[in-house]
Structure 1
């Protein structure tokens, strides 16, 4: 272990992403997992988690003992984690999706005191895709219709995925649109012809699909398809850990993965 390793707390440590974070972090000498936080009444409380046997706790006060907290929990828990991290001066990385407007405001408030990076997807490939989608949307202009397809495992509880929404916002930015004004979330029955100012979403849930996203830009006589397929959940954990290393020591503010990748910060 490095003498200057960044200390990390994981909130949601017993979940799918938390488990992967513990696994991936064990091989890094630049990070040290110091706290593994699980939900209250979790069956994992008191158990040793991950290769390094971190004892699981439901005590959120453990956040105050680390340099960065990585949150993959629930929307309500995420907002509470942000409040506690801000109070303790601890940087925060979160991949929790499905946040409502009030919960986003809580993160905005926290980011006045700490560096906070929220991402719907920590895959480097997906974040490069976001950039390409914005460029393609701007390049085609209104000559191309935009549709976004996403597929995930059957246990995913929110739809469309946070990543699909991220890609939709990128497409909307390319045309100076507000996604909420132009999104079509589903089609059924006699819908009439497609509007020009429309971004459509389609969702598939099944089996153990890790994640797939395709943005279709359909113009007269040609179609551009921009696709990312994830085959290993470890890519998300590696991206989140990379974000934690990068965020430590940054000034207070809201950050995105594009800041990490393209130096926009």
Structure 2
């Protein structure tokens, strides 16, 4: 059975190192190359694959290999442009992408298969599918809020997952998230508007990722929580996506829901 070749961006990072280890331990995958800044390349020799700080060099050497990227928005956008030129499928787990940057990713997806999920956990993506039904069944008397907790090194806030959860909740209520999202409350703010979704951010320690959706109703409260216990949860989801996206055609950005439902 042919193995799926994988290129990993930021191989010395928290996610990159986890992805490299899991790729080497998976008989269906082959580590075709890694990209890392020159100053951080020491210790990568044991991977036994090409190492470069230039993504285009690695992608050109390993054409057809699927690239997995959990880096930063500007890096991801530049990588998408390169992948579009070389034809390498791309799996993106980067969060904090602006609308303009998302449009650039979409442009790249017209030329090469692109998979993007702000959270690679299968459980979170199942939750995204189920929440709209809960919103509709509970009705308008239930106020919706959500909170997210991540480690102190996370650079963007709220998390991409929290924003996606909020978007799904707003759409289920027929609202525009830009009009109803409330990311901070302070001072004498008055009563809570009926059309509002609060999104609260906490940072500290080494928390991998906690997300809780609250439904506050008359006389009761429902809490739906997802907790990631390890980065392997996200890495395994990304590797599962890497095996799948190479079989898809360019023309759109593929999601975790599409993958799960197609398998």
* SS at 1:158 equivalent: coil
In the TM superposition, what whole-angstrom CA distance separates every residue of 1:51-103 from its partner, at most 9, and x where no partner exists?
A: 63445310111123242111111100100111111111111100011111221
CA distance in 2, matches of 1:178, 1:15: 36
Q: TM-score, normalised by structure 1?
A: 0.93
Which of the numbers 121, 126, 130 marks the counterpart of 2:124? 126
* SS at 1:43 equivalent: helix
Matches within 5 A, 1:2-41: 2=1, 4-39=2-37
Aligned to 2:256: 257
CA distance in 1, matches of 2:131, 2:101: 27
Contact 1:119 1:256 in 2 (8 A): yes
Which of the numbers 48, 51, 58 marks the counterpart of 1:56? 51
Contact 2:32 2:65 in 1 (8 A): no
Aligned to 1:90: 88
Aligned to 1:77: 75
Aligned to 1:179: 177
Contact 1:47 1:55 in 2 (8 A): no
Q: TM-score, normalised by structure 2?
A: 0.94
* SS at 2:139 equivalent: helix
Q: Which has the higher helix share?
A: 2
CA distance in 2, matches of 1:52, 1:166: 35
How far the C-alpha of 1:47 sits from its partner, in A, is 4.0
Aligned residues: 259
* SS at 1:244 equivalent: helix
